[in-house]
């Protein structure tokens, strides 16, 4: 069963598939929405987390910082963090920040679940 939560222009839907938690973000991951993403990611630290960004048209530095923090927390807790389905605009932010090789970025939720 999926749960949905909204803050600012961001809506997050959370569902579990096997041992993985899938967070589907919809809307902008910016200063108004990133606290919601941070809160949800912290809830599931230490697990396999897949963040579906296919419906995210824009992400600012606060969203990027939230994901960096979640990745570090995940690694310390023995979990995994996957980002999937990044649009060109969001992917370019990771490229500019030279973080493409730091994150596990895959094309789809299915690819993340199979990894």
Helix (H) / strand (E) element for 3: namely: strand 3-7
Of the chain, the percentage scoring pLDDT greater than 70 comes to 97
Residue 89 has pLDDT above 70, yes or no: yes
Question: How many C-beta neighbours within 10 Å does residue 114 have?
Answer: 8
8-state DSSP, 98: T
Question: What is 28-92 written as a DSSP string?
Answer: -BSTTTHHHHHHHHHHTTTSEEEEEEEE---B-HHHHHHHHHHHHHHHHTT-EEEEE---HHHHH
Residue 1 has pLDDT above 60, yes or no: no
Domain ranges of the chain: 3-114
pLDDT the model gives residue 108: 96
pLDDT in tens, 3-54: 678 777 899 999 999 999 999 999 999 999 999 999 999 999 899 999 999 9
* pTM, entire model: 0.93
CATH fold of 3-114 reads: Transcription Regulator spoIIAA (3.30.750)
The confidence band for 2, taking pLDDT boundaries of 50, 70 and 90, is: low
8-state DSSP, 99: -
């Amino acid at each position: 069963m999926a749960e949905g939560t909204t803050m600012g222009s961001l809506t997050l839907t959370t569902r579990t598939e096997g041992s993985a938690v899938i967070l589907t973000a919809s809307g902008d991951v910016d200063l108004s929405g990133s606290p919601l993403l941070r809160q949800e990611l912290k809830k599931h630290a230490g697990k396999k987390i897949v963040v579906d960004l296919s419906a995210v048209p824009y992400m600012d530095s606060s969203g990027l910082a939230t994901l960096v923090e979640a990745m570090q927390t995940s690694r310390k807790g023995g979990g995994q963090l996957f980002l999937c389905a990044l649009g060109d605009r969001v992917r370019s932010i990771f490229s500019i920040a030279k973080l493409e090789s730091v994150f596990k970025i895959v094309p789809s939720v299915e690819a993340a679940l199979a990894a």
